Amino acid sequence: MIHPTPRLRFAPSPTGPLHLGGARTAMYNWAAARALGGTFLLRIEDTDQARSTDASLQIILAGLRWLGIDWDEGPEKGGAYGPYFQMQRLPLYRETADRLLASGHAYLCYCTPEEIEVGRKELEAQKVGFTGYNRRCRTLTDEQRREFVSQGRQPNVRFRMPDARTMQVHDLILGDVEVNTRDFDDWVMLRPDGVPLYNFACVVDDIGMRITHVVRGNEHFQNGIKQRLLFEALGAECPQYAHIPLILNKEGKKLSKRDADTNMLDYRDKGFPAEGIFNYIALLGWSFSGDRDVFSRDEMVAAFRIDGIGKSPSKFDEEKLRWMCGEYVRRWTPRELLQRARPWLEGAVPAAAFASHGSWLQNGVACYQERIAILSELAGKLGWLFAMPPLDEAAQKNLAKEPAGKQWLLAYAEHLAGCNLPPSWPADRQGVDDAVALPTRKDAAEPACAFWTPAAIERDMRAFVERLGIKFGSFVHPLRAALTGTDKGPGLFDVLFLLGKTACVERLQAAAR
Ligand code: GLU
């Protein structure tokens, strides 16, 4: 047998955004297609016309693009097996339904919703061995049929499920499973208006689009049974199914809006790195290798196998997601970090800060590189760099704690003012990278700071504090308060380095007043 080229699909309904579960399904199909050297396509299941919107579709596509999940066929791409929107494929469903009616695998059902409901209740009372639709229209006489037609009833097309057939099915994740068709209803395939229902459209399209493997949430396992029978009725080969377990929250309950963002674009807009989210989602049911959690898209593709997906539900853990995102933030160069963070910084920091390749600002954001997971977090942290913020409660306490604290700060301000650096440097906030190695002026009598670098500032500060005869620990708390208005933030020597001599002196004097 010639093995067909692997073809996998993601088949979202554009009735809402791309959420975590959908993103994972898309990713696993994508990774499998890439790993197998096959094709990954997008099919838009837009038959729920009341709830499908173009806005949702755009959000789904943008979410996929943001995660780096690209498709070979589908919206915006086209392809040889389109159209890729189900509402553009209605003639195909009608033709296929006619074939199934002719072969006896399907029948026309004229029952009204009220009759179906009455029948359902009767079935329940009788305990006949199946429930749901009472299958009245399976056995209509020609006369009954004519009567319904003359009443103007519009028929649904129903699939005739085999009576009490035991089926052994193989799922790439769940393994061998036995089911009995008695547990299934004769389900509606096509409505009178020609719009198909999910299971039917899905099979017609999986056949038409030559789908070979289907990875999807295991809420579709039962649908898979109906679909297998439909493939059989149509004489087509069924794709290999892989039903992935649910994603649960930390408490082991079904993931809800309260546990995670339901729209992938919310993660984007908050400044989570796409690579981090991608990497985290990949691990919700699959593992890369025993000792490594951080891997690239390419590494995932190289290692991915559908049957490597786990059988047990995965748990969404916000803390791990943040850790993962932080791992990516730390890998960037400061320049890259600034570039990526720029959309969140614009408006939050003065426009001039981006001048001169933003090198000063670059050093500013780099101070936080070890401390953040989300780029938007930067915006609220950098204010002290541009203007002295009001002292928060902790800073006020730190400033008041040592009775002589203000004297120390004044003395240090004086010391810094005498420090042998151009007094305004780096007032223009430019060229800090070059200025880092700014040497002491040769003619200086007693250089206080040989270099204005964090390390040199520290050495000099320690010597100063020793001369003062106080504890270093007692000195740094009021100092940080006076310079940044808070007790948190990046390393203190980085703070001084970034503020520059003039601003430091000014802030210390102001605090002492
Ligand atoms: N539109 C279906 C869903 O979003 C697709 C299921 C499938 O992959 O067959 O759940």
3-state secondary structure 157-215: EEECCCCCCEEEEEECCCEEEEEEHHHCCCCEEECCCCCECHHHHHHHHHHHCCCCEEE
Answer yes or no: are the C-beta atoms of 497 and 484 closer than 8 Å.
Answer: no
In the chain, domain spans: 89-244, 332-513
Measure CA 117 to chain center.
42
Sign of CA dihedral 17, 19, 22, 27: positive
Separation of CA 52 and ligand 1 centre (Å): 14
Give the number of other CB atoms < 10 A from CB of residue 303.
17
Q: Please check whether residue 341 is in contact with residue 289, taking contact to mean a CB–CB distance below 8 angstroms.
A: no
Domain 89-244 has CATH 3.40.50.1110: no
| DSSP character at residue 452 | -
Distance between CA 37 and CA 49 in Å, rounded? 35
> What are the helix (H) ranges across 332-469?
334-345, 359-366, 376-379, 393-401, 405-417, 432-435, 454-468
Neighbours of 22 (CB within 10 A): 21
Q: Whose CA is nearest to atom 4 of ligand 1?
A: 12
| Residue 57 neighbours by CB distance under 10 Å | 19
SS3 content of the chain, % helix, strand, coil (to 5): 50, 10, 40
Mutate to test the pocket of ligand 1, among 7, 10, 13 (most ligand atoms within 8 A of CB): 13
User: Is this prediction's pTM over 0.95?
Assistant: no
Interior angle at CA 316, CA 312 and CA 317, nearest 5: 125
Instruction: Report the nearest-CA residue for atom 5 of ligand 1.
Output: 11
pLDDT of the chain, 513 residues: tens digit per residue: 566 899 999 999 999 999 999 999 999 999 999 999 999 999 999 999 999 999 999 999 999 999 999 999 999 999 999 999 999 999 999 999 999 999 999 999 999 999 999 999 998 888 777 778 999 999 999 999 999 999 999 999 999 999 989 999 999 999 999 999 988 999 999 999 999 999 999 999 999 999 999 999 999 999 999 999 999 999 999 999 999 999 999 888 888 878 877 799 999 999 999 999 999 999 999 999 878 999 999 999 999 999 999 999 999 999 999 999 999 999 998 889 999 999 999 988 888 777 755 677 888 888 899 899 999 999 889 889 888 999 999 999 998 988 899 999 999 999 988 876 654 444 444 434 333 333 333 333 334 445 677 888 898 899 999 999 999 999 999 999 999 999 988 899 989 988 888 889 999 999 988
Decide: helix, strand or coil at residue 315. strand
The minimum-distance atom of ligand 1 relative to the CA of 216 is 8
CB 506, CB 412: distance < 8 Å: no
What is the rounded distance in angstroms from the CA atom of residue 276 to the CA atom of residue 279? 5
Q: Which atom of ligand 1 is nearest to the CA of 25?
A: 8
CATH placement of domain 332-513: 1.10.10.350
The set of residues, in sequence order, having a beta carbon less than 8 Å from that of 10 and lying 6+ positions away, is: 22, 25, 26, 29, 30, 40, 41, 42, 43, 64, 69, 71
- In ligand 1, the atom with minimum distance to the C-alpha of 227 is 9
77 counts as catalytic: no
Site residues for ligand 1, CB cut-off 6 Å = 11-13, 45, 202, 214, 216, 220
The Å distance, Cα 395 to ligand 1 centre, comes to 55
Exposure string of 408-426, with b = 16+ CB inside 10 Å and e = fewer, is bbebbbebbbebbbeeebb
The answer to whether the 89-244 and 332-513 domains have the same CATH topology is no
How many Å lie between the centroid of ligand 1 and the Cα of residue 37? 23
Query: What is the C-alpha separation between 43 and 26, in angstroms, rounded?
Result: 11
Distance CA 130, CA 136 (A): 13
